[in-house]
Chain A
Amino acid sequence: MRGTFLARLGKLWLACILFFLYAPILVMAFMSFNASQYYQLPFEFSLKWYEKLAGNSEIIDAATRSVGIALVTTLIATILGTAASVALFRFEFRGKRFLQIMLFPPIAIPWLITGTAMLIFFFGVGLGRGTPSVIIGHVALALPYVIVVVSARLATFDATLEEAARSLGADSWTVTRRVTLPWISSGIIAGALFAFAVSFDQFVVSYFLSEPGDSTLPVLIYTSIRKGFTPEINAVSTIIIVISMAVMLIAARFSNFGGER
């Protein structure tokens, strides 16, 4: 068959990239089983960081809190972001270009500045700190990513499909539900994955806006750099990655994500 050689080469390339993407993850996991506190080589097997982690409620609480906040953020950002993308795609109106451009400041301005700005502003309007403020901040940071990703998928959408459905008498809501949404479902899922990643890794906003004692995992990691973070952090990261991998693979098994058209 033609292209077999190229196809093989392509798969090899994909394998190389996966290896590249996972190299630091593997090292991270590997070091969680290494006895040295300072990540020294040669490797010496030990489970002590997992034992310590089991007794460290601070890290476990922070990790649970982070997952919770990330899930809520993902849900809100994905819904709001998808709605906005659909409007930006479907309609022509004045100021549309401006609205699209306004998605870039949150991405371009370093999170440190945005976080500081949020701190001052939330404090100024009396919103103060706490988990609601953290979620408001996370959703806002995740939204532009969701809109950009979903819009990229929508841009490939053939508008004549909608026209056709409409000409067959379908009302606008039916068109959206039966034609548009199925087409962009993979974009929505991808947007959701991004939103989760943005929230789960976000430390600046959480750092400024969370109550003391209510810190998230990235905040804990960031602040523990000073004292020295121990391989306990590697251990908890490894556990999280393994769990999410399992959940994702199960989800992929039972869904038709990115599936056939």
Chain B
Amino acid sequence: MSARLANHDRLRIVGLLSPAYLWLTVAIFLPLSAMFYFSFLSDVPFGNTEWTYTTENYAAFFQTSTYATLLWKSIRLGLIVTVIAVLVGFPCAYVLAKVIKGRSREALFLLVILPFWSNSLVRIFSWAIVLRGNGVLDLGLNAILPFEVDVNLMFSTPAIVIGLVHSYLPYVILTCYLALQAIDDNLIDAARSMGASKFTILWRVILPLSLPGLLAGAVLIFVPVVGSFMEPRILGGRVGTYYGTVIEDQFVAVFNWPLGAALSFILLAVVLLILAVASPVLKRAQT
């Protein structure tokens, strides 16, 4: 496309983009800017509180090791959940897009999305009933297996990972499906007729072509998981303290919005940094 934009193109861009971005500006960017401003204040400017400008809220992150430890723990959790979801979801999307044919495909695809339409809190509590000692998993396994097993995954990191993978799996299946479904079957047949092995086809044809979808899915999982606090709290119990938890505490427990906001923006910066570092690497992998 030409570097110089014709006037009518410019008009079209504005016409197409402005409704969405104006909406985002009013409802998200301006409110978040206000929060960003708060993160440099010593107190929330409500009523008759006294406040001054300060960078102390950002400095607080470095004053104890608590925040950095938890942020690292959250990033690790995000990576684990993303990797598992991709490994589990990609084959699933492939089967949906390339193996299953006809009407049943649409039906199955919708079935994958549907659990998403239930309330997340109800879903987490249901997982708790499954995973706890004497719970559904424990009773079920003991009914099938000839020997006694004692399964109590509740209040552990695996429980958090299971719950989060479950919550975010549809994202990656969906985006991978959309990308895989766009790959022309003739291309795969051509590669095959030229004697490429299954692995080569997967590695050199399918994966590169579906990478945009896979990446979109991975980002949609990784980014919110790093800031999650609900699932870790309910399923993780004592080990369920993450970076999102301390942010939530600042807002809910002590009303220290400036510190909470500063911690959120540090999270945002770190997440964007990770994405920025990852994107050239992934771009190279694509070619």
Let me know if A55 is at the binding interface, CB within 8 A.
Answer: no
Let me know if A68 is at the binding interface, CB within 8 A.
Answer: no
Dominant secondary structure of chain B at its interface with chain A = helix
Q: Which residues from A are CB-within-8-Å of B125?
A: 39
B219 A201 Cβ-Cβ under 8 A: no
Q: Which residues from A are CB-within-8-Å of B110?
A: 248-249, 251-252, 257
Q: Mark B210-222, 1 if CB is under 8 A from A, else 0.
A: 0011001101100
B223 A110 Cβ-Cβ under 8 A: no
Q: Mark A100-112, 1 if CB is under 8 A from B, else 0.
A: 0110111111101
B126 A28 Cβ-Cβ under 8 A: yes
- B130, B182, B198, B247, most chain A CB atoms within 10 A: B182
Give residues 94-127 of A contacting B (CB, 8 Å): 99, 101-102, 104-110, 112-114, 116-118, 120-122, 124
Let me know if B136 is at the binding interface, CB within 8 A.
Answer: yes
The distance in angstroms between the C-alpha atoms of A156 and B135, with both chains bound, is 45
Interface size, A (range)? 35 or more
B16 A110 Cβ-Cβ under 8 A: no
The distance in angstroms between the C-alpha atoms of A221 and B100, with both chains bound, is 38
Contacts A10-B94, A28-B126; is A116 near B272 (CB within 8 Å)?
Answer: no
Contacts A10-B94, A259-B106; is A152 near B129 (CB within 8 Å)?
Answer: no
A121 B34 Cβ-Cβ under 8 A: yes
Q: Mark A58-100, 1 if CB is under 8 A from B, else 0.
A: 0000000000000000000000110110111001110000010
Let me know if A253 is at the binding interface, CB within 8 A.
Answer: yes
B13 A91 Cβ-Cβ under 8 A: yes
B216 A218 Cβ-Cβ under 8 A: no
- A18, A87, A172, A217, most chain B CB atoms within 10 A: A87
Listed by A's residue number, 22 A-B pairs whose Cβ atoms lie within 8 Å are A21-B170, A22-B115, A23-B126, A24-B127, A83-B16, A83-B20, A87-B12, A107-B223, A108-B267, A108-B271, A112-B229, A112-B247, A112-B252, A140-B28, A152-B178, A153-B178, A172-B12, A194-B116, A197-B116, A200-B119, A233-B119, A258-B109
Q: A140-B26, A149-B216 are in contact. List 8 more A-B contacts (CB 8 A).
A: A7-B99, A10-B95, A27-B130, A104-B271, A110-B227, A140-B27, A143-B23, A193-B113
